[in-house]
């Protein structure tokens, strides 16, 4: 089975990106059957952690495959190609998407 927990951020980078507010082990995510969502905002920030550092920006209409939702129901989790190298989980605000 492929290891999907391949976040390439070191603990120091994660601390800097989140201001120490959310460590990756503290992010409670409920896995869901993967679905496709479409970006409805003019642009959507994809973040390493909810409310954390921006990893990528997606434009309106972009389709993304998500496989988890945070415990508060506000953020979708998705696997992305990390601009810093490799792949990692990232988060997008659910309110700026629609199920496609």
Predicted pLDDT of residue 19? 47
Predicted pLDDT of residue 58? 98
Q: The pTM is what?
A: 0.75
Predicted pLDDT of residue 26? 82
The parts of the chain modelled with pLDDT lower than 50 are 1-4, 6-7, 18-22
CA dihedral angle for residue 94, residue 5, residue 57, residue 10, rounded to 10 degrees = 130
* Residue whose token pair is 């972009």: 62
Classify 9 as helix, strand or coil: coil
CA dihedral angle for residue 5, residue 86, residue 18, residue 74, rounded to 10 degrees = -60
CATH architecture of 11-99: Roll (2.30)
């Amino acid at each position: 089975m492929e290891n999907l927990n391949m976040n390439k951020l070191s603990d120091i980078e994660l601390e800097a990106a989140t201001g120490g507010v959310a460590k990756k082990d503290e992010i409670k995510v409920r896995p869901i059957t993967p679905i496709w969502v479409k970006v409805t905002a003019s642009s959507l920030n994809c973040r390493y952690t909810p409310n954390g550092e921006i990893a990528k920006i997606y434009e309106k209409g972009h389709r993304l495959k998500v496989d988890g939702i945070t415990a508060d129901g506000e953020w979708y989790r998705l696997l992305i190609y990390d601009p810093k190298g490799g792949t990692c989980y990232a988060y997008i605000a659910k309110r700026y998407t629609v199920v496609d």
